Amino acid sequence: EMKEKTVLINGFSKSYAMTGWRLGYACGHPDLISAMYKIHQFAIMCSPTTSQYAAIDALRNSDEDIAMMRNEYNRRRRVMLDGFKKAGLDCFEPLGAFYVFPSVKSTGMDSGEFCEKLLKEEKVAVVPGNAFGECGEGFIRACYASSMDNINEAMKRIKAFVERNSQA
């Protein structure tokens, strides 16, 4: 039966804005969890006590905060999608995490060149798509876990960069 073979693994980084706290959990059949625990106890000591208390509080008291954060990230995502569209860069609408993955193929540059030049010329840091495998070549990854001011400024700079550097 699937219940005996299924493990739910989750963490607090994205849902509860607790990135860097290195805290997560696993739920599953006791035999599977026991086997996982044997490996875990020799690989990791434990999460800091303060992180554990914060996680308990997050689980008990954060439904409104999560809804507010989800709405805010959706707003930021929309601004970035619109910004890349205005810059002439195609971008699929992401449905998870807080990253967009626009194509830079229309610029005539590969992912690495685009990222290096953008950083040098506009002081905007993005990650080459090929850092996530060869299928990522021709794309960049940009994060919208930043302030709206930073996102708006970055999109303005990216648009100016693309206008100056595209092969059109």
**Taking the CB of residue 72, how many other CB atoms lie within 10 A of it?**
12
Bridge partners for 135 per DSSP: none
Q: Judge if pTM exceeds 0.75.
A: no
Question: So what's the pLDDT on residue 82?
Answer: 98
Same structural domain for residues 106 and 38? no
Strand 24-28, strand 140-143: pairing:
unpaired
Same structural domain for residues 27 and 51? yes
Question: So what's the pLDDT on residue 14?
Answer: 78
Same structural domain for residues 51 and 122? no
> pLDDT tens, 93-149?
998 888 999 999 999 999 999 999 999 999 999 999 999 999 999 999 999 999 999
> pLDDT tens, 53-94?
988 998 899 889 889 988 999 999 999 999 999 999 999 999
Same structural domain for residues 112 and 134? yes
Please, which pLDDT band fits residue 168 given cuts at 50, 70 and 90? Answer: low
